[in-house]
Amino acid sequence: MRCEEIYRELYGRAPESVAFCPYRIAPLGAHIDHQLGIVHGLAINRGIHIAYGRKDSGICELRSLNFSKRAQFHVANIPEEKVGDWADHCRAAAKMLGEKYPLRTGIGGVIEGSLPIGGLSSSASVIIAFLSVLAAVNGIRLEPWEVIRLAKKAENEYVGVNCGKLDQSCEVLCRKDQLLCLDCRDDSYSLIPWTGKPFGIAVFFSGLERSLAGSAYNLRQDECKAAAYDLMAFSGRSYGKFSEAVLREVPREVFDEWKGRLPEPFRKRAEHFFSEMERVRLGSEYWKAGDLEQYGRLIFESGESSVNNYECGCPELIRLYGILRETPGIYGGRFSGAGFKGCCMALVDPGRAEEILAAVEDQYLASFPELRGKYQGALCASDDGVSLAGGDGR
């Protein structure tokens, strides 16, 4: 690993250890985790590595191979407000962990993210990797759900993105070749083994990196809440605080009966929620049956709903999605993650992967020649979630 080499150059010795947290893809269940819907996800064999050694002074001295500025802070003295640089994710992790456990030991660390940023949930991945490192050097044993909740809180309350728990759950709970099916309302989940023919996971980077802070991610969530609130009121149901309104609390029949009264943007967001819930329900059945064609078809449909109903994406990502739909050998594909910028993912025929990567690249760069050198396609595989130092019995 490059982060290991850089650590050696900087500190003149080998790192004590290298932590790894995978990225995730979410084939179905886009943008419904924050509405307490049901989501699907897989961890992949790419992610964040941190080569580190402990610092008894409590200082965290961090470098990232993906960003230029070095960051330094004391593990027990995190600024109340985010600073505005890449290391906020690490400060956020330290702050949340420090609110539960006394932190005395810091680290010298070099962080390396595989693949460009955007769509694979590198934010949750860096937070979880850093949490696991701080826990290890401070002698704290973390349970999987504790990590998920701390990491989500770090992103919601410190970084300032109102994300749901999809990313963190995939990165912690997933197992190789098993699909995570998580109900975000009560945290019940199952890992559904794959029994069908082999498939590959391809990711296609638009060449536009993104961070959710500053995107329309939070706005879309407010629109979903507004739709939920309106539907409850139109139908004479009791409702609580606006901040707690979610579409999962609205029965499908209520939506069908009252949707005509919703302002168009709110109606479309709700349409996405209810149709995506149905795709996840059907998708679980197809996955169990090992039916890649049908599961893939649902992924394409989910992508279409993201474009037309949820209205995320940008011209580049929408074009990429269109190319995926037309490329032979692709079972299904869509924006990966939030999908404002970043990448698309697809489940592909592994025997045709090279041909698919080449065909998508040619067509995409014909539409956006200025993105040559920034665009990137890669073939990945499903993998286990993070392994937590100290052993968690998984």
Dist CA 299 CA 311 (whole Å): 16
Catalytic residue (choose from 33, 167, 230, 383): 167
Minimum CB distance to ligand GLA, residue 124 (Å):
7
Amino acid at 339: G
Stretch that binds ligand GLA, among 31-39, 75-83, 94-102, 132-140 (CB under 6 A): 31-39
Among 18, 21, 28, 30, the residue binding ligand GLA under the rule CB under 6 A is: 30
DSSP string, 108-125: EEEEEESS-SSSS-HHHH
Minimum CB distance to ligand GLA, residue 337 (Å):
4
Question: Of 296 and 342, which has the nearer Cβ to ligand GLA?
Answer: 342
Minimum CB distance to ligand GLA, residue 343 (Å):
12
Among 27, 34, 211, 320, the residue binding ligand GLA under the rule CB under 6 A is: 34
Dist CA 108 CA 216 (whole Å): 35
Active site residue 167: yes
Q: How far is CA 338 from the centre of its chain?
A: 8
Residue length, the chain? 394
Stretch that binds ligand GLA, among 23-31, 137-145, 247-255, 283-291 (CB under 6 A): 23-31
Q: Is 64 exposed, middle or buried (0-12, 13-18, 19+ CB in 10 A)?
A: buried
Window 166-185: contact mask with ligand GLA (x via CB under 6 A): xx------------------
Question: Of 138 and 302, which has the nearer Cβ to ligand GLA?
Answer: 302
Under DSSP, the state recorded for 62 is E
Minimum CB distance to ligand GLA, residue 217 (Å):
7
Let me know the angle formed at the C-alpha of 80 by 76 and 81, rounded to the nearest 5 degrees. Answer: 135
Give yes or no for residue 120 binding ligand GLA (CB under 6 A).
no
Site for ligand GLA in 318-357 (CB under 6 A): 337-338
**Strand ranges (DSSP E) for 114-199?**
178-183, 189-193
Question: Of 26 and 128, which has the nearer Cβ to ligand GLA?
Answer: 26
Handedness of CA 242, 243, 244, 248 (dihedral sign): positive
Query: 21 pairs with which residues across the strands?
Result: 48
Minimum CB distance to ligand GLA, residue 154 (Å):
12
Let me know the angle formed at the C-alpha of 193 by 126 and 380, rounded to the nearest 5 degrees. Answer: 45
Give yes or no for residue 26 binding ligand GLA (CB under 6 A).
yes
Tokens 């209205």 label which residue?
A: 311
| Binding interface with ligand GLA (CB under 6 A) | 26, 30-31, 33-34, 121, 163-164, 166-167, 337-338
Q: Which amino acids are annotated catalytic?
A: 167
